[in-house]
Amino acid sequence: MSDRDPLKDLGFDGPASARVYDYSLGGKDNYAPDRSAASDALDAYSVARLLPRENRKFMRRAVRYLLATGVRQFIDIGCGLPGKGNVHDLALGADPDAKVVYVDNDPVAVVHFQALGATAINADARHPETILGHPELTALIDFDRPVGILMISMLDWIPDEDDPDTVVAAFREALSPGGHLVICDFLSDNLSDADRATHRELTERYGISLTFRSSERFKGFFDGLDLVEPGLVLAPEWRPDRPYDPPSGWLLAGVGRKP
């Protein structure tokens, strides 16, 4: 008999990023360690309650923008758990023939999307060749036509030592003209010394480390692409479709188009 703990294998013995995010959005697919980590972060940072909704609302606006430009193929890398207004809900609502592939390294997140009838693959974004060559993806996605690649709060999980620039470049180079790269992630420009100290303390406590990056670093992710107006801005300021609360200042967002 194996001494492996299946719950530990699935990450249920500690907090997982997808489930922490799910709890922060008011979801139900989370456990005590996830709720504890999320609650401590919400208590530590006054802006933390804004982040999940800023992130989610930007994603939905970006997908609707891509649909309006004619994009009908989407790859959501680091998709996390399903919520309200998922990429496939928006895409299929606009065009029943649209194609969506979800990617996550958390098998639980993948299973949840598969249970909705969506195509979801378990893979690590740090290995783009595995994702781009995955048979379930290549069966649906035609890279000779425009594709929207979404990296929503995903790059913060890739530390600099794992070379996120090369990771993003691989996906960017897979795009044909008219394809788009969508990024929203944690910005370091507005962090105080106290914020940084709290981040270090929470990382040591829960083992969940996020990488904040400068706006200059973000610009490099869009090399060779034309930034869609209004360019790289705080997430709520990217093509808002309704009044919004003052931005947290922690999430930078942008959409680049392959010329």
Q: pTM, whole model, 2 decimals? A: 0.86
- pLDDT of 4: 39
Q: What is the domain extent for residue 183?
A: 49-191+212-257
Grade residue 8 by pLDDT with cuts at 50, 70 and 90. Answer: very low
* pLDDT at residue 167 greater than cutoff 90: yes
pLDDT tens, residue by residue, 111-132:
999 999 999 999 999 999 999 9
- pLDDT of 157: 92
Cβ neighbours, 10 Å, residue 249 = 16
Establish if 108 belongs to a structural domain: yes
Scan for tokens 């788009």, then name that residue.
180
What percent of the chain has a predicted confidence (pLDDT) above 70? 82
**Strands 233-234, 99-104: pairing kind:** unpaired
Instruction: State mean pLDDT over 189-213.
Output: 85
For the domain that residue 90 is a member of, what is the CATH number? 3.40.50.150
Establish if 23 belongs to a structural domain: no
Alpha-carbon gap, residue 134 to 101, rounded angstroms? 11
Structural domain count, the chain: 1
- pLDDT of 109: 93
Establish if 88 belongs to a structural domain: yes
Mean pLDDT of the chain: 88
pLDDT tens, residue by residue, 184-200:
999 999 999 988 988 88
